[in-house]
Amino acid sequence: MSRIATRFAALKAQGRKALVPFITAGDPSLEATMPVMHALVAAGADVIEIGVPFSDPMADGTTIQHSSERALARGADMDYVFETVRQFREDNQDTPVVLMGYLNPVEIRGPEAYAAQAVAAGVDGALLVDLPPEEAVEYREAFDRHGLALILLAAPTTSAERMQRLCTLATGYLYYVTYAGVTGGDHLDTGAAGDRLRLIRALDKVPVVAGFGIKDAASAAAMAVHADGVVVGSALVAAMADALDPADAARNAAAFLLPLREALDGLPGA
């Protein structure tokens, strides 16, 4: 079993929900990314999503856009991301790591070479925001050959036909975007999202995690009732933005995440 499948199976057996923090590689500094990853694990992260800095992050709001700009200015390219994960794996062989980003860095290398490099570095999955399911078969096949999960996105506007295709193609987990818009917004409607999540979970063969609009313990707990886990990104990135050094960034990350972990573990059945 892959690290992702192993982790979600363990969580299901324990009656617990996955907590999936998102950070931007290279922000608040190049030196901070790996200490922050370890701090997040210590604070209860089940999977870590690493945002690959990109010059035109169309799905992201201003918080993550600015973090990506800062990281690119520091030199946080794809090689930096792979090397950071490789170093993380020296001390942590268990926590799944997923790269979240856009097609361009994959296209530059080609899906086959990208998947090979990612897996060699210790990456478990890739979420490509601008990859539509109609064009995903080539990527799924290349990624499968190397054991890299292709994690796909569903949204409130996804049609029934496209949802069936997503559920067929997705591996690792399916990421449900809780509202139509960019990251970091304040549009979360837990009731509507919950209804949609129940339908998706009935269709899907992989776990379903919810992201966008989850910014604190209360919103995390509310969405986790209907999902297998939750993703928190913009609020965490903002919590680290003014860190003085890598140790300060790690402390800020852990302090932010701990209340969310406690809230998820306090849900009925947890």
Question: Per the structure block, which two tokens stand in for 64?
Answer: 């993550």
Contact by Cβ (8 Å): 80, 32: no
Question: Per the structure block, which two tokens stand in for 51?
Answer: 């945002």
CA angle 35, 90, 245 (to 5 degrees): 15
HSE-up of residue 72 (Cα within 13 Å, Cβ side): 13
Cβ-proximal residues to 2 (8 Å cutoff; 6+ apart), any chain: 96, 124, 147, 149, 172
Told to judge if 60 belongs to the known catalytic residues of this protein, a careful annotator would answer yes
Q: Which of 60, 124, 204, 228 is catalytic?
A: 60
Q: Which of 27, 31, 46, 49 is catalytic?
A: 49
Task: Print burial letters for 14-32: b (CB count within 10 Å at least 16), e (below 16).
Answer: eebbbbbbbbbbbbbbbeb
Greatest alpha-carbon pair distance for the chain in Å reads 49
Tell me if residue 205 falls in helix, strand or coil: coil
Distance CA 84, CA 21 (A): 17
Distance CA 117, CA 138 (A): 17
Told to judge if 265 belongs to the known catalytic residues of this protein, a careful annotator would answer no
H or E stretch covering 231: strand 229-232
- The catalytic residue positions are 49, 60
